[in-house]
Amino acid sequence: MYDTIAEGYDELYGEEQERKLKKIAYVIKGRVLDIGAGTGIVAKHFPNVVSLDPSWKMLKKAPGLKVLGMAEYLPFKADSFDTIVSLTALHHTHITKVIQELKRLKPKQMAFSILKKSKQCESIVNHMQKAFPNVEIIEEEKDIILIIK
């Protein structure tokens, strides 16, 4: 699906993604993995970002290091990243597999935005709270933001 909208993605959603990034920017430090990076919004504003996405057409627009892949099967070693972020992408994943991968990678901090209107929103938030007991929840108009330190 995202291959078909890659060309106009930033025009459609760029401003909204920028607002979400500003909300989590204080968490982003060191080596960063952006899961579901799309066109690379995080990499456009921060150094040392690896952008991971299953859509090559989206990733081609991202600056810096790019990895074609899925959140459920992260091709990285433990301790590869200080920070892991994901803006409005986790509702496209199998969250229990993603949580296993996040725990395996052992980042120091994480930040995720979950689209409220997603059918999986409540389930994702519940799974994250169970997996990471120190989850800070920030309610926004369209998203729930999860900060884990």
Which single residue is written with the structure tokens 């057409």? 57
Q: First CA to last CA across the chain, in angstroms?
A: 33
**Residue 23 · residue 138 · CB < 8 Å:** yes
- Tokens matching residue 102: 């996040």
Q: Exposed, middle or buried: residue 105 (CB in 10 Å: 0-12, 13-18, 19+)?
A: middle
Distance set, CA 107 to CA 68, 111, 134 (Å) = 20, 11, 14
- The sign of the torsion formed by the CA atoms of 67, 41, 43, 30 equals negative
Angle among Cα 142, 41, 43 to the nearest 5 degrees reads: 145
Distance set, CA 59 to CA 38, 65, 125 (Å) = 6, 9, 27
**Residue 69 · residue 95 · CB < 8 Å:** no
pTM score of the predicted model: 0.91
149 residues of the chain, pLDDT tens digit each: 455 544 544 454 557 777 889 999 999 999 999 999 989 999 999 999 999 999 998 899 999 999 999 999 999 999 999 999 999 999 999 999 999 999 999 999 999 999 999 999 999 999 999 999 899 999 999 999 999 99
DSSP 20-60: HHHHHGGG--SSEEEET-TTTTTTTTSSSEEEEES-HHHHT
